[in-house]
Amino acid sequence: MVKYVHLKRWFLCLFILMLISIPVWAGEEGVVTGSVVNIRQGSSLAHQVVTQVKAGQTVAVLDKQGDWLYIQLTSGQKGWIHSDYVDISPTSGKKVIVNGSIVNLRQGPGTNYSRAGQVSNGTELVVLAEKDGWYKIQSPQGGQAWIAGWLAQEINSVPAPSTEQQFVIINTNVVNVRSGPGTNHAVVTKIGLNERHPILTQQNGWYKIQVGNQQGWVLGELVRLSSEGSDNLTPPSKNENNDTGASDQESYEKKVIVTGNVVNVRQSGDMGAPVIAKVYAGQQLSTLNKKGDWLQIQLASGQTGWIASWLIMPVPGELPDLPSRGGQEREVLSAPLADGKTFRIMDLAGRPILVLEGWSKNEYLIKNTDVSSLMLELKGPSTIKYQGKLSKVGISDINIYPKNNKSMVELTLTFPPVVNVSSDKNSTRIELAANQSNPIGGDGSLRGKVIVIDPGHAEIIPGGLKPGAVGSMTGLKEKDVNLSISLKLKSMLEGAGARVVMTHTGSTYLSLTQRAEVANNINADIFVSVHANSNDSPYIAGHSVYFYAPWNNPLLFVQRAQREKLATLVQRELVKAGGRRDIGVLDNKAFVVLRDTRVPSILVETAFLSNAEEERLLGDDTYRQQLAYGIFNGIKAYFR
């Protein structure tokens, strides 16, 4: 019995010793904070150095003795490090997940650094450090590397506060998308007026958004918000009779053309659905179904998937299957402009119905400002400002703003309207139908025309975007001038009924030949490349337009008369609008975009950035509007 008691005590002591010996730090991760730190065989400076680690390196903490930590490196090697040189705070465990398909790792925080391997979509990585929108990570291939922040999303990042997918819609001509939430962060791309992109998260007045295969941050003051499937200023009320999932009630084009540079095809109509394929600008697709803002399409392989409707346009000549005129109205915009008063726009089979709720007959005024524009003056104080477009109902531009004690609503339509007004005590309906006897553009010359606009430069290169010419006085970049003029031109052409495809809206991976192929693939009516000029002499100035159709190129020579006519008319109107020296129409340069297009094409040199006066003019938004107007008038004259 005594022996049994002693034996029992001995096992108890052994159990306690085992508990004490369990490393309390096992499973912890730490990040090295010293620049170069020795790893030793034992827990003192007297022990031999077995290796060294550098700042930012992740280590697994296995045990602790006094001020020393027993750690394991990613290579599997173990040793002791002084705890002063390791951060084991909770923030050191940050992880990201790769959201690009195949993403390059770099030796430093920038695309100008050498490649250090690749990772695929869905790979989880431990973040060691951050710099200029880049993450330093532990590479799955061993060692450390850097990955672009816009190609990796932080795990457990806080989503935008919404019960459904939220989007930003751009309110201004050109917006910088940055690598972080602040103007001190690098610009990763640019996006333009009315572009729509899904929100990933938000922070300090900035929104993190998805732009194609890139991610970045935009300032909240430059965008408005939209919910899934809606262009609303405020989300429409939901009811049982407004089932956006009922695909047999949706109208859609039977054939469409891709307008985004590289567009994801998803397994279902949802931004979170897996990507099953990619399609490219100019590609023609057959459509099978529509749900909300998503179209089901069929690829050449026979595979089906879903594509966002704001990244396509109808094939010329294809008309949507519209529901009957007695169909259901759907609210597409709701704006509470004054106390107890709301301005709404309804969609009835693709026609806009304006509804004024709360205004009596003597509290509003409707004006025709030109053949395709309306202005409403609505009584009542308001602070609401809104600018955008509602293409699905033929509104190419809408601008709402307060003025004195009124709300002003300006509408630019893609058709000349016939206005039919009906009112009751507290509500007015304004139905807008197309006036078939008075088409836009005088003779309707631009209606249905397919025009490709190519803003020159902005190719993605290591370290940023190719700027083109750069002004010597202010540093104005040609790519920014070209994009600004192109977006203004796009708006004018769409307002006149043309279908416009942009080769890019801020940045592009397309080569010059691929830009030309966008027009070739969709058999566009014309291709217009917009540039600003430069010369070694600061005294050279003026406007010029190039075309290319040499006699020794039979494919292009048969279009010589058309190309020269387009160039001549655009040059004539450009000089009228811009007021600078008329350099003339030139055909002595084989620009790639002119040489490789199979449709009538021109390259417009708007003015010279190398000339101080013209650099100043090109930096002025009003002057860029004049130049766009000149090009627009030249194009309109070509199609008459």
Same domain (yes/no): 612, 494: yes
Least confident of 236-240, 421-425, 435-439, 544-548: 236-240
Q: Is residue 11 part of a domain?
A: no
Q: What is the pLDDT of residue 442?
A: 45
pLDDT at residue 612 in the model: 92
Q: Is 159 within the bounds of a domain?
A: no
Q: Measure Cα distances from 68 to 58, 62, 76 in Å.
A: 16, 11, 19
Which domain range does residue 132 map to? 94-154
Residue 322 placed within a domain: no
Domain with residue 625: its CATH number is 3.40.630.40
Do 372 and 505 belong together in one domain? no
What tens digit of pLDDT does each residue of 534-579 get?
999 999 999 999 999 998 888 888 899 999 999 999 999 999 888 8
- Residue 21 predicted with pLDDT over 50: no
Q: What pLDDT does 607 receive? A: 96
Residue 321 belongs to some domain of the structure: no
Q: Mean per-residue pLDDT for 335-353?
A: 79
pLDDT digits over 310-330, tens only? 667 665 443 333 333 334 567
Tens of pLDDT along 245-304? Answer: 333 345 556 777 776 556 778 888 776 677 788 776 667 778 888 887 678 888 766 778
Residue 436 has pLDDT above 70, yes or no: no
- CA-nearest of 260, 264, 299 to 503 is 260
Contacts of 265 (CB under 8 A, 6+ apart): 275, 276, 277, 278, 279, 297, 299, 305, 306, 307
CA 523, CA 525: separation in Å to the nearest integer?
7
Residue 234 lies in a domain: no
pLDDT above 70: percentage of residues in the chain: 75
Q: Which residue has the higher pLDDT, 324 or 532?
A: 532
Q: Would you tell me how many other CB atoms lie within 10 Å of the CB of residue 115?
A: 11
- Domain identity same for 52 and 179: no
Question: Residue 407 pLDDT > 50, yes or no?
Answer: yes
Average pLDDT over residues 388-397: 76
pLDDT number for residue 439: 41
Q: Which tokens hold the place of 466?
A: 């190719």
Any domain includes 481: yes
Query: Could you tell me if residue 505 is inside a domain?
Result: yes
566 and 458, same structural domain? yes
Does one domain contain both 85 and 179? no
> Please, which pLDDT band fits residue 163 given cuts at 50, 70 and 90?
very low
Tokens 């592009």 found at = 508
Our count of domains for the chain comes to 6
Boundary of a domain, candidates 42, 70, 91: 91
Which of 49, 76, 91 terminates a domain? The answer is 91
427 and 467 inside one domain: no
Are residue 486 and residue 461 in the same domain, yes or no?
yes
Residues 462 and 599 in one domain: yes
pLDDT above 70: residue 161: no
SS3 of 426-493: CEEEEEEEECCCCCCCCCCCCCCCEEEEEECCCEEECCEECCCCECCCCCCEHHHHHHHHHHHHHHHH
Residues 6+ apart with CB under 8 A from 97: 122, 123, 124, 125, 152, 153, 155
**Strand intervals (E) in 150-235:** 152-154, 166-170, 174-178, 187-192, 196-203, 206-211, 214-219, 223-227
pLDDT at 369 over 70: no
C-alpha 523/C-alpha 513 separation (Å) is 15
Q: Is 420 exposed, middle or buried (0-12, 13-18, 19+ CB in 10 A)?
A: exposed
pLDDT confidence tier of residue 132, bands split at 50, 70 and 90? low
In which band, very low, low, confident or very high, does the pLDDT at 90 lie, cut at 50, 70 and 90? very low
Other beta carbons within 10 angstroms of residue 25's beta carbon come to 16
pLDDT in the model for residue 239: 32
Residues 502 and 591 in one domain: yes
Using only C-alpha atoms, the chain has a radius of gyration, in whole angstroms, of 31
Question: Which has the minimum average pLDDT: 7-16, 182-191, 392-401?
Answer: 7-16
Distances from the Cα of 291 to the Cαs of 230, 268, 269, 636, in angstroms?
Answer: 12, 10, 7, 36
Q: What is the CATH number of the domain that holds 194?
A: 2.30.30.40
Q: What is the mean pLDDT of the chain?
A: 77
At 113 the pLDDT is 77
User: What's residue 542's pLDDT?
Assistant: 94
Last residue of a domain, one of 75, 91, 107: 91
Residues 560 and 626 in one domain: yes
Q: Predicted confidence band at 171 (pLDDT cuts at 50, 70, 90)?
A: low
Per-residue pLDDT at 237 = 32
Residues 495 and 368 in one domain: no
Stated pTM of the model:
0.39
Q: With bands split at pLDDT 50, 70 and 90, how would you rate the model's confidence at 515? A: very high
Residue 4 lies in a domain: no
Residues 72 and 146 in one domain: no
pLDDT confidence bin for 165, thresholds 50/70/90:
low
**Residue 585 reports pLDDT greater than 90:** yes
Least confident of 9-23, 61-75, 140-154: 9-23
Q: What is the CATH number of the domain that holds 378?
A: 2.60.40.3470
Most confident listed range (228-242, 437-451, 615-629)? 615-629
Which residue matches tokens 């049982």?
Answer: 240
